[in-house]
Amino acid sequence: MTLPKLYAIADRATLDARGIRVSEFAREMAQAGVGVLQYRDKVGAPNEVLRAAKEIGAEFAGQDCLLIMNDRADLALLAGWGVHVGHLDMSPADVRRLLGAAVIGVSTHNDDQVMKADAGAADYVAIGPVFATSSKADTEPVVGLEGVRRARALTRKPLVAIGGITRENARSVIDAGADSVAVIGGLLVAGERPGKMAKQFLEIVG
């Protein structure tokens, strides 16, 4: 599979903290031409997550965008989405048995995890955090650009880099071997619309 170079993440907690509705964020991503979007809600009840998924899906109706649910394979199945799991969550192999042909991604944080992911059932591999990030409380050690380069050498699967990626460093991450950059906070710059930031990222990583 081929992933778009910008992998937008709609993190519910981050959006709530900035007073941005999920549907509003999704609308701006759709208008900017974002080709993959992950929805992440670590605390919402299943009905709340599914309601948000429905809102996101409505904003992207008729567009070619890969929609990914973070962690919750059961809710991804109900929403008809793909899913992204952490290395300590439900295994990609078990997710595959549940979701069939749906797209599956897996997070990795070191060489051993990358090699395991490469040999497993996931369709793409995420490596990070590349840089320090404030979008996730339980972060692993920073891997840096060298970690991206090592991951690139260890897998032929599409590689998504995540963690602290901004407009200033995004190009260097692509140049280090990532196929795609996952961005959360970098799309939510004070005084700027998320859609404008997405367009700028698309131009940078183009």
Q: Kindly list the domain boundaries of the chain, sorted by start residue.
A: 6-205
3-class secondary structure, 70: strand
Class of domain 6-205: alpha beta
pLDDT at 9: 98
pLDDT 10s digit of each residue in the chain, 206 long? Answer: 999 999 999 999 999 999 999 999 999 999 999 999 999 999 999 999 999 999 999 999 999 999 999 999 999 999 999 999 998 889 999 999 999 999 999 999 999 999 999 999 999 999 999 999 776 656 789 999 999 999 999 999 999 999 999 999 999 999 999 999 999 999 999 999 999 999 999 999 98
Residues 6+ apart with CB under 8 A from 65: 30, 34, 35, 36, 37
Sign of CA dihedral 94, 99, 102, 104: negative
Look up the pTM and report it: 0.95
pLDDT at 206: 87
pLDDT at 88: 83
Could you tell me the end-to-end alpha-carbon distance of the chain, in angstroms, rounded to an integer? Answer: 18
pLDDT at 138: 60
Whether omega for the bond prior to residue 194 falls within 30 degrees of 0, making it cis, is no
3-class secondary structure, 11: strand
Owner of token pair 């192999």: 93
pLDDT at 136: 61
pLDDT at 87: 83
Q: Is the separation of the CB atoms in 159 and 177 below 8 Å?
A: yes
pLDDT at 78: 97
